[in-house]
Amino acid sequence: MRAGIAAQALRAHRWAFVGPASTQLVAAVVLSATLTVQVSVDGAPELSEMLTAFALIAVYLTILLVGVTMNAAIAQQARDVALLRAVGATPGRIRRAVAVEAAVVAVPAGIAGYLLGLLAGWAWLGTLVDHGLAPAGARFTPEPLLLAPILGILVVTSTVGALIAAVRPARARPAIALADAATRRPRFTAVRLGLGLLLVAGGVTLSVSIADLAADAADDAALFVMLALCVGVGLLGPFVLRSAIAVGRPLLALAGGTGRLAADNVAVLSRALSGALVPLVLAVAFAAVKVAVHSTTTHVTGRTGPAAEAWLDYSGTAVYCLFAAVAAVNTLATVVVGRRRDLALLGLAGATRGRVLAVVVCEAGIVTVTGLVLAAGVAGVTLVPMVHTALGTWTPYVPPSTLAAGVLATAAVVAAGTVLPAALLTRRPPIGQVG
């Protein structure tokens, strides 16, 4: 097989494929759960329609996220790709090798996800029956044949994502790819700043202007408010993170050298880290809005809304948040893996492993706090006009226990993307990483 040697070389980067594989796993879980429940509740048209919508959203998010994570996975292999290109691998050969790797990765992720999805589907069906959303007689019926379309979707999205991601590295002139990545400087900072401000301003304006709309129309428009704000925040990310550090520096200085080092690191990495802010802020803000709409209604009117409606709303939110969390963890982990040598150098410069990890924990703290503050802002801008229109109050309400759970979940997601990979990477002596 002629693609063999290139594929063999890329296989050395197994870890790079954790990102796409985890995305595919989540996608398979969601698809398997929704489709199995759909088979099980055969004869409940309304629920069936909603489940189809869930599955379609899952496919859409899979295409998007597998593409993004595959891009990062292939970027990590840029130097090996450049060497292979220099000594004689044609662009086509690189593309074939990458496509084969991507297809191979999708299969185990799909099978594991399908099985986990059966478990999730079983639990979910129970709650749907409990809330009267599914017919009481609905029996959980696992359908082995579903594995085929799920694997098909994953293999195709994975391969297509990989091929798109490989276009640039495969075509790049080897001389440029072999040059040190550090010499490439980011550009368009002014354009980015302008676009970010425009989106945030647009989001706020839209939010204020829909405050007078009927509840249904306002609900639909609220999604656009949130999207505009989140993408805007993502574009402003580097500026926001650097401002956050400027504000928080005195506080971080309390943690001594560790805190100062963490602040400096986040400032340098602000551009890469802001890629993780978009999914993080989107997920937290989206969940906050969904929860607050229900809990504020209960809080103000003293009546509980229909539990079934809330449950469906929460189910959908959970799916979105799951994908967003996977995206955030992947982006953060890519940043940490890219810093492998820097972390090793810290070790060589005299930091113990504990100290290195403490720096990473501090960085994770900065990202978490910044993400939460931004998410609170985005959720607030979206919510306040909404609850004012519907309930006449200016203050959304979220139970403290839910708030605490949200903060902990966010911190856990950030830690999973930063502290966990850093802990794994620093297990071996630093000199092996540097040499």
Partner 1 sequence: MDDTPVVADGLGRRYGSRLWALREVSLAVPAGQFVAVMGATGSGKSTLLHCLAGLDRPTAGRVRLAGRDITRLREAALTRLRRDRAGFVFQSYNLLSTLTVARNVLLPARLGGPRVGPAALAAMLDAVGLGGLGDRPVGELSGGQRQRVAVARALITRPAVVFADEPTGALDPATGGQVLRLLRAAVERDGMTVVMVSHDPLAAAHSDRLLLLREGRLVGDTRTPDASSISALLAVAA
Name the site residues for partner 1 (rule: CB under 8 A).
Answer: 2, 4-6, 8-9, 11-12, 79-80, 83-93, 171, 173-176, 178
Minimum CB separation of residue 12 from partner 1 in Å reads: 4
Minimum CB separation of residue 169 from partner 1 in Å reads: 12
Minimum CB separation of residue 134 from partner 1 in Å reads: 51
Residue nearer to partner 1 on the CB measure, 83 or 115 = 83
Residue 376, burial from CB neighbour count under 10 angstroms (0-12, 13-18, 19+): middle
Residue nearer to partner 1 on the CB measure, 2 or 139 = 2
Residue nearer to partner 1 on the CB measure, 87 or 215 = 87
Cα-trace Rg, the chain: 23
Tokens standing for residue 296: 């504020």
Handedness of CA 179, 181, 182, 183 (dihedral sign): positive
Tokens standing for residue 212: 């007078």
Residues 6+ apart with CB under 8 A from 378: 203, 226, 229, 230, 233, 281, 285
Residue nearer to partner 1 on the CB measure, 89 or 225 = 89
Minimum CB separation of residue 176 from partner 1 in Å reads: 7
Tokens standing for residue 77: 């292999």
Question: Rounded to whole angstroms, how far apart are CA atoms 70 and 58?
Answer: 17
Question: Rounded to whole angstroms, how far apart are CA atoms 201 and 209?
Answer: 12
Minimum CB separation of residue 87 from partner 1 in Å reads: 5
* Contact status, residue 385 vs residue 291, Cβ threshold 8 Å: no
Minimum CB separation of residue 8 from partner 1 in Å reads: 7
Residues 6+ apart with CB under 8 A from 6: 84, 89, 93, 94, 96, 97
Residue nearer to partner 1 on the CB measure, 148 or 176 = 176
Minimum CB separation of residue 172 from partner 1 in Å reads: 10
* Contact status, residue 343 vs residue 428, Cβ threshold 8 Å: no
Minimum CB separation of residue 101 from partner 1 in Å reads: 14
The string of DSSP codes covering 151-199 is HHHHHHHHHHHHHHHHHHHHHS-HHHHHS-GGG-----HHHHHHHHHHH
Residue of 387, 376, 308, 283 whose CA lies nearest to 127: 308
Minimum CB separation of residue 81 from partner 1 in Å reads: 11
Residue nearer to partner 1 on the CB measure, 5 or 408 = 5
Residue nearer to partner 1 on the CB measure, 95 or 339 = 95
Residue nearer to partner 1 on the CB measure, 87 or 349 = 87
* Contact status, residue 28 vs residue 114, Cβ threshold 8 Å: yes
32-65 burial by CB neighbour count: b if 16+ within 10 A, else e? Answer: bbbbbbbbbbeebeebbebbeebbebbbebbbeb
The helix/strand/coil state of 188 is coil
Question: Rounded to whole angstroms, how far apart are CA atoms 416 and 418?
Answer: 6
Residue nearer to partner 1 on the CB measure, 175 or 253 = 175
- Longest CA–CA span in the chain (Å) reads 72
DSSP 262: H
Residue nearer to partner 1 on the CB measure, 175 or 412 = 175
Tokens standing for residue 400: 């403290």
Q: How many CB atoms lie within 10 A of CB 316?
A: 16
Minimum CB separation of residue 192 from partner 1 in Å reads: 19
* Contact status, residue 272 vs residue 335, Cβ threshold 8 Å: yes
Minimum CB separation of residue 78 from partner 1 in Å reads: 11
Q: State the amino acid at position 399 in one-letter form.
A: P
Residue nearer to partner 1 on the CB measure, 104 or 300 = 104
Minimum CB separation of residue 215 from partner 1 in Å reads: 54
Residue nearer to partner 1 on the CB measure, 185 or 303 = 185
